[in-house]
């Protein structure tokens, strides 16, 4: 008898994806490539590998959204303005994640040399376009920090829902082991 692999439910998979991206987002807010370079090539390679994991998660989430739409629905206790904010914020986060991945690819494409994500995966064939590379680098950084601010606003929005509306918004996305604390 063979064991059959069963994929987890969509919401469970998205919870894992969601919570695995939070520490990566915090890492990239606090640590830049210039911060890890003094620690040597191995540290830079690890930082780059974390970037590859983050981008893979971004693309998986975007693909899931394009295939099936948003997984969440606004709760019944949300006022009309908050329903619009809820939907818009989630869409903006997903497209922002995709945008960060896209500008990272464009950085590799316009680079003077081949970028290797995590030292294992070529990002894109380098075209050596210094002005475009500089511009895309600025956009990539701005976009990432804008996404981080949006993610912070997203967290505050769900905290407000949980505490003010008492609709258990945090319990929906938290692992079951933490439900007793919420």
Classify 8 as helix, strand or coil.
Answer: coil
For 112-163, the pLDDT digits (tens) are 999 999 889 999 999 999 999 999 999 999 999 999 999 999 999 988 988 8
Residue 137, domain extent: 11-176
Residue 1 lies in a domain: no
Residue 51 lies in a domain: yes
Instruction: Say how many domains are in the chain.
Output: 1
Residue 5 lies in a domain: no
Residue 38's contacts (CB-CB under 8 Å, 6 or more residues apart) are: none
Residue 46 lies in a domain: yes
Extract the residue ranges of the chain whose pLDDT is less than 50. Answer: none
Residue 71 lies in a domain: yes
Residue 93 lies in a domain: yes
Find out whether 57 and 18 touch, Cβ atoms under 8 Å: no
Task: Round to whole Å and give the CA distance between 66 and 62.
Answer: 6
pLDDT for 77 equals 86
Residue 3 lies in a domain: no
Residue 148 lies in a domain: yes
The reported pTM is: 0.86
Task: Round to whole Å and give the CA distance between 160 and 145.
Answer: 22
């Amino acid at each position: 008898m063979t064991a059959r692999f069963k994929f987890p439910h969509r919401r469970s998979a998205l919870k894992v994806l969601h919570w695995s991206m939070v520490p990566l987002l915090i890492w990239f807010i606090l640590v830049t490539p210039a911060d890890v370079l003094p620690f040597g090539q191995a540290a830079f390679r690890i930082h780059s590998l974390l970037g590859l994991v983050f981008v893979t998660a971004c693309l998986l989430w975007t693909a899931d959204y394009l295939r099936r739409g948003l997984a969440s629905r606004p709760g019944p206790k949300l006022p009309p303005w908050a329903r619009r904010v809820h939907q818009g914020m989630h869409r903006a986060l997903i497209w922002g994640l995709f945008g960060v991945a896209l500008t990272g690819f464009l950085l590799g494409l316009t680079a003077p040399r081949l970028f290797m994500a995590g030292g294992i995966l070529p990002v894109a064939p380098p075209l050596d376009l210094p002005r475009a590379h500089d511009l895309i680098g600025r956009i990539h950084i701005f976009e990432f920090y804008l996404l981080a601010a949006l993610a912070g606003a997203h967290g505050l929005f769900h905290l407000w829902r949980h505490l003010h509306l008492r609709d258990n918004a945090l319990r929906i996305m938290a692992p079951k082991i933490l439900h007793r604390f919420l």
